[in-house]
Structure 1
């Protein structure tokens, strides 16, 4: 009894001593402030431990789950983790969620118990259209999300992404992209939210706040966002990945910066990723003005700045602005790069460099502090592991799948719905008796499309389905165009002859628009015409006298002149989710009414580029010889199965100053026979400025649902802040003058009225 009693007393004393030690270790005290915990932990770290918090490596170097469900680390991984690590990219990406969580728990425990101070690691993913990992919900891509013009739906989508990532043991995502899509040659176009500054800013706010759980969810249920690529990455010259970026300082401030600034100041993004490219000759990863002066000092960004893959080292061997790898590391560190992604020839060199460059310590301390702060915000020191029992029931939930389907439905754009006799072919209707045999044909038809159409339409119709030919040889790095299309082409024509109605699946796929990775990969194009004999296919099917509905699937804007001229109807679906074909069938048979709008301008030819709607007014003075002037379809355009009338535009005042606001109202009436949703868009045009001004700029939008015959009054507030721009004196501010407000269904049409900014003070 005495022995047991003494043991108990001894155990209690040990617990009390441990508790007292943990209280002294401020960084382990969850009741201490984040700043205090960071300061305390940093003070206890040696140089190697600090630098370890500035490096990320990829799990494919040797992290796996064995057949016995035990963590396996290949040679060299233990050494990489000796002093801890900032983070690891994509651990468990090829495992189903429960197994991934099991792996990540073991990996985190190994890291925490094998570095001196018990510092946990970040596990990082990508999330363009859902968590980039096995077993998670797959959503439509960001360009689709922008086409929905639905802020709340985008927020809900990214909320699910954040939850599904965290439940499998992940903490950050290298997403979303705040770049603007203004060059469809660029293969990564669909990863972005379109060409417009305001629309992209709104989508970024929705995405970042969604994935971060409105910041409140970061402790346990959601993950942090790394908004990228700062800045101007979508404007690479020639539309080719890694090319130079030339953007005027005024355009940079007025058009390129705002989505990133919104991510930092309004959405509180935890991370920012720098751009692969340079910016007017200054490599982005060595750009002090960009990363420190603007991002950290002017905007107050408190998170960490991470490199794009290997780009710090590339300052030396690719950008050639640093003479040695050591110079590259010092250059990036002093510019404001906090974390090195992947390279073993950049920040890995810092411990040795400090011996001869002791001034680097203050930069290392600042960078390591930013990473530690992120980990405290994410609650990793207090709760580093996943509850395995809750994983399965929280991934691919009914709600998640329903949101994915809703995004498909709301992002679909009806570009055309008029036959030669001016009648509308869509919707067909489930009781239709005109079209009994329907052929689903074309090179971007997916395997499950026929089953999805049968599921939606029942046995009332007879469906046939044939892809015919692939657009390319489907080789990942450098795909080649398919030159053996005739057998499949002939089969498509033969099947079209037997049909009453042809639904042609045309456009592009994951091989005709993709990322051109650094080594031996291409993903950009010198043309935006549809590849392979797609134009000829639609011409020959039309020659048969068959009505044609085109389902357009693609990841870049295409100059669809022949398709636009020949098709009776066009449903632009971009790159929808795993349920995309189901949404397409619903739209064709009238179970849903398309309500998407174009997030980009569709040009007639690549020769019109640049061609975003908000260019300077003077850019639209002249067209080109031998082609019709203007876009094929304007930004913000999208039809419905019903019609809408705009009327009774009113301004609460025709004068505004920096201390006042104007309320704008317009009545929108559904003049058709079906319930529909309309995106009411507000544009502002500065009539006279000290510098040449955009033709017009989107400043707000609302998506409203109207029943047949219903009228709603839509209200907007013109805040004077939205009238600021970079003036001739290079100061960002107001100018007295006249403005036109336009409210309508697209950038190309609407009701207009004028107001005046009467003073600037």
Structure 2
């Protein structure tokens, strides 16, 4: 890498690529600049050359909104604040160029990287960091459905392909890491961030996390370089989705056994199977111990047990909050010391946390080993991503790589496979163009483009009317307010339903009724999971017209849709689809393809049933509640099709399983209907007797298959003893001899059953 020693040339805040005259520029030929050497040798050499201040700079990140802009003539503009922050180098910068087109973002990030490198005495590049809940969180990128939609596909390979596209698009913009995906298990729909994760189940989430991390990192296997994609920062470690009351920043109470058996596995798989380059610590605590100051969590488990070699970054400002919010540190300096000793490596955003380390380390030299440890993890990541050798984006590749036709097709396919047919009374769906004269598209979740999408799908044979009626809220970002009742709007929509042959109601929730509750006073969690506002009343009145009613459910949290489930003739559960959602939905509704999504969560009848995930302990189902029906409204794994499937001939290869053996489970699945369609075949296992109380059942495998009408396919699963291990009485992994049930079917509630015995007990 060529050493750059250049002069500073700044006009007000407009920076024209140049930096300080630096007589101490790294000497050409330094080992860390030699791309042929092993990463660890380069790392050791670079670390030996760095000052304390330079090391601490590699432990901090700031947001581009502090003063990184692009002029109309494509020149980098840096505020004085940003120039000061880059004087000693930086670990990374969040979201540079997020509001620019991909081409201009790449141009800006090349200039920003050049400035950063030339201002660094040792020419150390920066990590540019994004987020990726439904594609790269930046203007002009492909917008996919959210992670909960990915989980609803139950298609691991499709999920991997989507994240592969995300990783490519991000790198082409000049990004290097993303604060995604979320490995949290989310079981409380009061929590506004529910759709950012992959649902309630440990196994499904684990498989989706491995697919997401592997995809976004371009198949990086823990060796060599990753130069075409970005690195994942898997979050929030750990237990973040378990916040009490479903409210952001609340305490987290998880039994050590639940933590080991249900919460940790997706994170462990992200580290050991997918080789995630980053981990983000959780906002919360675990049983009173703040995650950002938990050496057992961040060092003993993450690094000692799992072998993690990447860096651990704080969630926004959370190291400083050990003092100001969590109140487990007497002073900001105490918070810094707690965090760095526990295993935190990078401070996201704060100016009163790791920025204190130079002064603290000069007073206490014992901190240097923790600083060196942290810097090593950050710099190793930069070497792995090839930033020292090729820090810039080839601009001629951006246009053809971002929003490529293959990425757009992936977004559509994900929509096709994630939509869940919850109910289809008397085969209301699909709609037959030749039999439906007029369709009324109604309700608050109707988009401006929905009518056009349906007209394109149905053609001239069907007439459409459309009316949104009312908004759910005033759509204020921080604390939105519900809109007032509008009886006239309901009357208008009822009148339109009367004039139509079929009414399609667009109901549920949106980005204002389920969202992150930010620290600065914003709210996004709810103490009710009923649909907000007048939606149930609209459902009742339109149903009373006597025409078939199809509900399109759009939402970002599980809703207790008891009224909708009772009144609607058909329900299509869409969660939060991609930019092509209405186009795909319309085609599905008119029978171009069959729904194949399955619920990644349990849908309760009311908030009073919570917690209500399917894999609770068996004893939790002993008693129901007065004056309400038992069981869920819709079970985990549920999802209908336009065709019908028959399961038969469930067989086990043996009825005993030895410690070094395996069982093959097979079942014949037949398409007994008239549509070609996809089905998710699900495998559940139940430990009938355990030394500790055991789950009612646990998902242990699934296969998504496609069958033509009349076609039968044998589906096989392999059960190994390790799949049956759990945390025993002594808090160590254990296998216990005994009897197990195997259940294979179309959901957690509908399946065939067989049994086997684990012959021996081993630890």
Shorter-chain TM-score: which interval? over 0.9
- Given the alignment of the two structures, is residue 126 of structure 1 paired with residue 131 of structure 2, yes or no? yes
Contact 1:314 1:320 in 2 (8 A): yes
Name the SS for the 1:76 alignment partner: helix
1:31 alignment counterpart? 36
CA distance in 1, matches of 2:74, 2:674: 59
- Given the alignment of the two structures, is residue 350 of structure 1 paired with residue 360 of structure 2, yes or no? no
CA distance in 2, matches of 1:130, 1:161: 6
CA distance in 1, matches of 2:656, 2:559: 42
1:21 deviation in Å?
5.6
Contact 1:443 1:468 in 2 (8 A): yes
Contact 2:217 2:226 in 1 (8 A): no
1:220 deviation in Å?
2.1
CA distance in 2, matches of 1:247, 1:225: 26
Name the SS for the 2:73 alignment partner: coil
Give the root-mean-square deviation of aligned CA atoms: 1.3
Which residues in structure 2 correspond to 1:58-73 (within 5 Å)? 58-73=63-78
Most deviating of 372-381 and 477-486: 477-486
1:390 alignment counterpart? 397
Match 1:54 to one of 53, 59, 70: 59
CA distance in 2, matches of 1:655, 1:149: 30
Contact 2:485 2:533 in 1 (8 A): no
1:424 alignment counterpart? 427
Deviations 1:141-190 (A, max 9, x none): 00000000000100010000000000010000000000011000000000
1:637 alignment counterpart? 638
Deviations 1:501-556 (A, max 9, x none): 10000000000000000011000000000001111101111111111000000000
CA distance in 1, matches of 2:310, 2:248: 27
Contact 2:218 2:226 in 1 (8 A): no
1:221 deviation in Å?
1.2
CA distance in 2, matches of 1:219, 1:744: 40
Match 1:335 to one of 322, 328, 342: 342
2:151 alignment counterpart? 146
Most deviating of 212-221 and 445-454: 212-221
Contact 1:22 1:29 in 2 (8 A): no
Task: Give the alignment's TM-score, normalised by structure 1.
Answer: 0.96
Contact 2:454 2:583 in 1 (8 A): yes
CA distance in 1, matches of 2:137, 2:576: 16
Match 1:399 to one of 383, 390, 406: 406
CA distance in 2, matches of 1:651, 1:495: 56
Match 1:378 to one of 368, 385, 389: 385
1:116 alignment counterpart? 121
- Given the alignment of the two structures, is residue 581 of structure 1 paired with residue 582 of structure 2, yes or no? yes
Task: Give the alignment's TM-score, normalised by structure 2.
Answer: 0.96
1:171 alignment counterpart? 176
- Given the alignment of the two structures, is residue 84 of structure 1 paired with residue 85 of structure 2, yes or no? no
1:673 deviation in Å?
1.1
1:26 deviation in Å?
1.0
Contact 1:218 1:224 in 2 (8 A): no
CA distance in 2, matches of 1:545, 1:667: 41
CA distance in 2, matches of 1:53, 1:296: 20
CA distance in 2, matches of 1:616, 1:587: 38
Name the SS for the 1:414 alignment partner: strand
1:254 alignment counterpart? 261
- Given the alignment of the two structures, is residue 107 of structure 1 paired with residue 105 of structure 2, yes or no? no
2:315 alignment counterpart? 308
Match 2:46 to one of 27, 30, 41: 41
CA distance in 1, matches of 2:730, 2:339: 31
1:500 deviation in Å?
1.2
Match 2:217 to one of 209, 212, 220: 212
2:663 alignment counterpart? 662
Which residues in structure 2 correspond to 1:294-693 (within 5 Å)? 294-418=301-425, 423-430=426-433, 432-433=434-435, 435-693=436-694
2:11 alignment counterpart? none
CA distance in 2, matches of 1:328, 1:619: 40
Deviations 1:459-496 (A, max 9, x none): 11111111000001110100011114223222212221
Contact 1:173 1:226 in 2 (8 A): yes
CA distance in 1, matches of 2:488, 2:109: 49
Name the SS for the 2:292 alignment partner: helix
CA distance in 2, matches of 1:310, 1:540: 49
Name the SS for the 1:591 alignment partner: coil
Runs of 4+ in 1 over 6 A off after TM superposition: none
Contact 1:408 1:576 in 2 (8 A): yes
1:759 deviation in Å?
1.1
Count of aligned pairs: 737
2:698 alignment counterpart? 697
